[in-house]
Chains A and B, each alone.
Chain A
Amino acid sequence: MTEPILAEGLVRKFGDLVAVDGIDLCVAQGEVFGFLGPNGAGKSTTVRMLTTLLSPSAGTARVAGYDVVTQAAEVRRVIGVALQDAAIDPIMTGRELLKLQAVLHGIPRRISRERGDELLSRVGLSAAADRRVGTYSGGMRRRLDLALALIHEPRVLFLDEPTTGLDPTSRMALWEEVRRLNGEFGTTVLLTTQYLEEADQLAGRIAIIDGGRIVRQGEPEALKDAVGSPTLRVDVDPDHLTRAAEVLQKFGEIRPARSGRLAIGLEGGAARLAEVVRALDAAGVVLNHMELDAPSLDDVFAEATGRRLEGAEEPPAPVEVGG
């Protein structure tokens, strides 16, 4: 079977700036593929090339078997796209936008009405369907955006940072809908995100992109396992940072950490925590906070790039020591 998304050596330059620098991608049928990276990493530029909104400077890409440059119209026929910022005309109503989208996709009027009603119901917007979109909340706009992307029942769905700026409830609702689309209809989804949790929750495989290049690619668990030891993060008195670093590096390799903190890959895991605390105490280091986490995608990103992912959410359930 043809891979829904296949890219080889994809490059996009804007003048001297290389936004995407030789990306290879292969997304399998029915897969939810996460494209994870910080702002400006090249995620959206890649999506724009794959959805025919931007021509590649070099390389090739095929979506559903169609070349994105020479068969762009065919590509657009089989994809659904929800871009960043939910580009929706605020003067029109939700139902009018669905109708417009249906006409532009060549869907007969009777079918488009039925499908529009069904989609509005599915995304929970039936009651607001005849209200102008300008009155919608951010979450409602995103859900309408998703409905618009689905009106023609696409086989490949591109979601470009679909939950950026959404409250947790709206984010969860959108995740549920993506899972349902993938589970019930087998829709292949390429999802870009800067949220680690989102990639972890939704994607069967992810690619981590930084500086226009894919730095890691694979299943989230496999990528995390490859990092190895869990990460120990400590917060010490600022005057004791150097001394603490000298002590900690005896227990594992130093890892990137946010400003004012230290992190190491703790060899031996949780069993050595007490030993670390004793060593720090013996060195006279005042310990404010300590947490030990299993490797996360943030650790994968940090291990690959040498820095933490912008916007990375704090990992849950820390082990706290002191105040």
Chain B
Amino acid sequence: MTAAVEGLGTTHEPSVLASSGAVAWRGVLRTLRFPAIIVQSIFFPAFFLLVYTGLYRAVTELPNFPTDRAANWYLPFMMMQGAAFSGVGAGFATAVDIDNGFFDRLLLVPGRRISILLGTLGFALVRAVTVAFLVMILGLGLGARFTDAPLGLPLLFLGVAAMSLIASCYSLGLIYRVKDQRVAPMFQVGIFVALFVSTAQVPLDLATGWLHDAARFNPVTNILRLGRQAFLTGGVTWTDTWGGLVAVVATTVVAGLWAYTGLRKYVD
């Protein structure tokens, strides 16, 4: 066994917080320089919100529909969709970094490599909250009204944050394993299915057939239920909250593990 050379190098191992912050800072800088990065995340939720609140206004006339405003029903979903697409953007950005070799530069720094993942997630979170906030402003302009803002709004943004993290981790876990940009379309396919095979369109009681069964077990349904309470008749209740909290924690942990193990596999 050869003894390690003492005193080599002039640096100290940076803290996870400092390294993560630096990675996140790069994401912010890139977005400011190249705003098109964020446009897609805003465009689709905003477009769908405009279309749905216009086309499906009559959905509120269904029996037992939990609100009399279509915008109240669709807005939380569109905010979460924007957050999810923002999360997928983390996967796209990493795919580009892997393709052009910049990801290797990040892997070569001395700190713990989880900082790369945490920094990427941190930036995705900032971007998701920004997108969700902008979509919310649009929704309020289209007629959405809070029924329980003090409790509902934090829960709504908790759902937004969770969707961002889940989508980020899903796409990152995939690209870390495949290491090829060509897997990128799968990011959106997976998130699209998870979002729409849920109570995106109608409440669970009004869904029928396979969609009802699939939506019942889809954790996105519970996260949506959690977030929608800010806008639905009756406001926030524990009944509609606990399932959402469990879904947020469980799905985020599973997705986080998927991404973390993917990062570890990357150098194997």
**Assembly CA distance A84 to B102 (angstroms):** 11
Q: Residues of A contacting B9 with CB < 8 Å?
A: 77-78, 152-155
- Judge if B19 is at the interface, Cβ distance under 8 Å: yes
- Judge if A225 is at the interface, Cβ distance under 8 Å: no
Within 8 A of A (CB), among B93-123: 97, 100-112
Within 8 A of A (CB), among B13-61: 13-15, 18-19, 21-23, 25-26, 29-30, 33-34
Contact count band on B: 35 or more
Q: Which residue of A lies closest to B19 (CB)?
A: A104
Does B29 lie within 8 Å of A73, measured CB to CB?
no
As a 0/1 sequence over residues 161 to 199 of chain B, the CB contacts with chain A under 8 angstroms (1 = contact) are 000000000000000000000000000000000000000
> How far apart are B215's CB and chain A's nearest CB, in angstroms?
40
**Assembly CA distance A32 to B112 (angstroms):** 30
**Assembly CA distance A77 to B102 (angstroms):** 18
Q: Give the number of residues in A that approach B within 8 Å (Cβ atoms).
A: 44
Does A103 lie within 8 Å of B100, measured CB to CB?
no
- Judge if A214 is at the interface, Cβ distance under 8 Å: no
Within 8 A of A (CB), among B237-265: none
**Assembly CA distance A4 to B26 (angstroms):** 33
- Judge if B208 is at the interface, Cβ distance under 8 Å: no
As a 0/1 sequence over residues 1 to 38 of chain A, the CB contacts with chain B under 8 angstroms (1 = contact) are 11100100000000000000000000000000000000
Does B18 lie within 8 Å of A87, measured CB to CB?
no
Does A91 lie within 8 Å of B3, measured CB to CB?
no
Q: Please pick, from A1, A73, A92, the residue contacting B13 in the complex, using a CB distance under 8 A.
A: A73
Does B267 lie within 8 Å of A87, measured CB to CB?
no
Q: Which residue of B lies closest to A158 (CB)?
A: B108
In the complex with contacts A53-B107, A55-B268, A104-B109, A65-B101 CB distance below 8 A:
no
- Judge if A255 is at the interface, Cβ distance under 8 Å: no
Does A106 lie within 8 Å of B5, measured CB to CB?
no
Does B11 lie within 8 Å of A88, measured CB to CB?
no
- Judge if A107 is at the interface, Cβ distance under 8 Å: yes
Q: Residues of A contacting B23 with CB < 8 Å?
A: 104
**Assembly CA distance A118 to B107 (angstroms):** 25
Does A71 lie within 8 Å of B4, measured CB to CB?
yes
Does B111 lie within 8 Å of A89, measured CB to CB?
no
Does B30 lie within 8 Å of A91, measured CB to CB?
yes
Does B11 lie within 8 Å of A152, measured CB to CB?
yes
Q: Residues of B contacting A106 with CB < 8 Å?
A: 11-15, 18, 110-111
**Assembly CA distance A92 to B25 (angstroms):** 12
- Judge if B2 is at the interface, Cβ distance under 8 Å: yes
**Assembly CA distance A85 to B98 (angstroms):** 12
Q: Residues of B contacting A100 with CB < 8 Å?
A: 22, 25-26
**Assembly CA distance A279 to B110 (angstroms):** 65
As a 0/1 sequence over residues 82 to 104 of chain A, the CB contacts with chain B under 8 angstroms (1 = contact) are 01111111011000100011011
In the complex with contacts A83-B101, A84-B101, A153-B107 CB distance below 8 A:
no
> How far apart are A71's CB and chain B's nearest CB, in angstroms?
7
- Judge if B64 is at the interface, Cβ distance under 8 Å: no
- Judge if B62 is at the interface, Cβ distance under 8 Å: no
Most buried by B among A1, A83, A88, A106: A106
**Assembly CA distance A86 to B106 (angstroms):** 13
Q: Which residue of A lies closest to B8 (CB)?
A: A78
**Assembly CA distance A85 to B8 (angstroms):** 28
Does A64 lie within 8 Å of B18, measured CB to CB?
no
Most buried by B among A73, A74, A84, A87: A87
In the complex with contacts A52-B267, A71-B4, A148-B105, A77-B13 CB distance below 8 A:
yes
Does A104 lie within 8 Å of B267, measured CB to CB?
no
Does A91 lie within 8 Å of B34, measured CB to CB?
yes
Q: Residues of A contacting B105 with CB < 8 Å?
A: 83, 87-88, 101, 148
Q: Please pick, from A62, A81, A91, A148, the residue contacting B2 in the complex, using a CB distance under 8 A.
A: A62
Q: Which residue of B lies closest to A4 (CB)?
A: B5
**Can you report 27 residue pairs joining A to B where beta carbons are below 8 Å apart?**
A6-B2, A52-B107, A52-B267, A53-B108, A53-B267, A65-B2, A65-B4, A66-B4, A73-B111, A78-B9, A83-B104, A87-B101, A87-B105, A89-B26, A100-B26, A101-B105, A104-B19, A105-B109, A105-B110, A106-B11, A106-B15, A106-B110, A106-B111, A148-B105, A152-B11, A153-B10, A155-B5
Known contacts A65-B2, A92-B30, A101-B109; can you find 13 more A-B pairs with CB under 8 A?
A53-B108, A62-B2, A64-B4, A73-B111, A76-B110, A77-B11, A78-B8, A87-B104, A104-B14, A105-B14, A105-B110, A106-B14, A107-B10
